[in-house]
Amino acid sequence: MKVTQEKLPASQIGLEIEVTPEMSKKVYERVVQEFTRSANIPGFRKGKVPRQVLIQRIGATRIKAAAVEELVEDGLKEAVKQEKIEVLGNYQLRSPFEELLNQFEPGQALTFSASVDVQPEVTLKQYINFQLQAEEVKPDPERVEKVLQNYQDQLATLVPVEGRPAQMKDVAVVDFKGVLPSEEPEQEPEEVPGGQAEDFQLELLEGRFIEGFIDGIEGMNPGDTKEVEATFPDTYPQPKVAGRKALFT
């Protein structure tokens, strides 16, 4: 069998296959026998229908079409095996089927074109004999100390403190409720949305919570009640309280 290969885009290979006269005749005879065994023609038993009667009743074109289909299938299988092509998926017939049907004659060579999907070719660039230059990295003692301190703080166990007021770096457990003072003396203060909590753990560090709240907690003793004035930043996500002062009790 004569086979010509052509590389196509998208990881495909084009094949032009010339089927030998012997294969053409063999496949046609096989198809005729298949129709003979399966055809139901009045007056004849299955498998005993004369060839000419079969062709007249089934139709020469139908038999030739079935033969061309099998010829393409068999030709492709043999061509792929002969050329040692690792095929992915099914083939695509590139030659018009009607054209093949018109050209086909049992016992004569038939040439058709098809394409098959194959594994994409991967071109590797250099991946060995690289030269690397390592640089010594010296840790910053201050950053190391800061990271270690953060780990200590995260893993620390809270221990109740007695005999002194709250101070910076403590963790205070507080109950609070916030209101927004009204500019009109006769109007009642308005509650701060979400500004109420119980048993709220608050680490007393600069920059935590809203401005003034931490300073107000510092110096309080367990059980104390105090009114703390704090100011929401202008960039606070709730426009209703952004930039306003609030009283927390």
- Look at residue 157 and tell me if it is in a domain: no
pLDDT at 1: 87
Beta strands 171-180 and 245-248 are antiparallel
Give me the pLDDT at residue 130, please.
80
Q: Name the residue type at position 2.
A: K
Strand partners, 211: 231
- pLDDT for residue 185: 72
- pLDDT, residue 169, reads 85
Domain that holds residue 108: 2-118
Q: What is residue 183's predicted lDDT score, i.e. its pLDDT?
A: 76
Cα 183 → chain centroid: 57
Inside any domain, residue 71: yes
Whether 109 maps to a domain, the answer reads yes
Same domain as 109, residue 185: no
Contacts of 188 by beta carbon, 8 Å cutoff, 6+ apart: 182
Residues 240 and 176 in one domain: yes
| pLDDT for the residue 149 | 84
Instruction: Give CA–CA dist 123/131, Å, rounded.
Output: 21
Asked whether residue 234 is domain-assigned, the answer is: yes
Give yes or no: residues 104 and 181 share one domain.
Answer: no
Is 139 among the domain residues? no
Q: How many domains would you assign to the chain? A: 2
Report whether 247 contacts 228 (CB < 8 A): yes
* Residue 88 near residue 118, CB atoms below 8 Å: yes
Q: Are residues 243 and 177 in the same domain?
A: yes
Same domain, 175 and 98: no
What number of CA atoms fall less than 13 Å from residue 142's CA on the CB side?
0
Q: Return the pLDDT at 131.
A: 83
The answer to whether residues 21 and 111 belong to one domain is yes
Sequential DSSP letters for 111-177: EEEEEEEEPPP------SS--------PPPHHHHHHHHHHHHHHHPPP----SS---TT-EEEEEEE
178 strand-pairing partners: 248
How far is CA 15 from its chain centroid? 35
- Confidence (pTM): 0.48
Q: What is the per-residue pLDDT for 160?
A: 83
Position 4 scores a pLDDT of 92
d(CA 228, CA 247): 6
Q: Mean pLDDT of successive 10-residue segments in the chain (249 residues)?
A: 90 93 95 88 84 88 95 94 89 94 95 93 79 86 87 79 87 90 81 88 84 90 90 88 89
- Residue 196 falls inside a structural domain: yes
Can you tell me the distance from the alpha carbon of 229 to that of 210, in angstroms, rounded to the nearest whole number? 10
- Shared domain for 102 and 22, answered yes or no, is yes
The enclosing domain of 108 has a CATH number of 3.30.70.1050
| Residue 138, domain member (yes or no) | no
| Dihedral of alpha carbons 93, 99, 102, 105, sign | negative
Integer Cα distance of 213 and 229 in angstroms? 7
Domain end: 65, 100, 118, which one?
A: 118
Q: 63, 95, 118 — which closes off a domain?
A: 118
Co-location of 15 and 111 in the same domain: yes
Does one domain contain both 6 and 89? yes
Query: Residue 54 — φ and ψ, nearest 5°?
Result: -60, -45
Six token digits for residue 68: 């061309």
| In a domain? residue 19 | yes
State the CATH number of the domain containing residue 236: 3.10.50.40
State how far the Cα of 232 lies from the Cα of 242, in Å rounded to an integer.
5
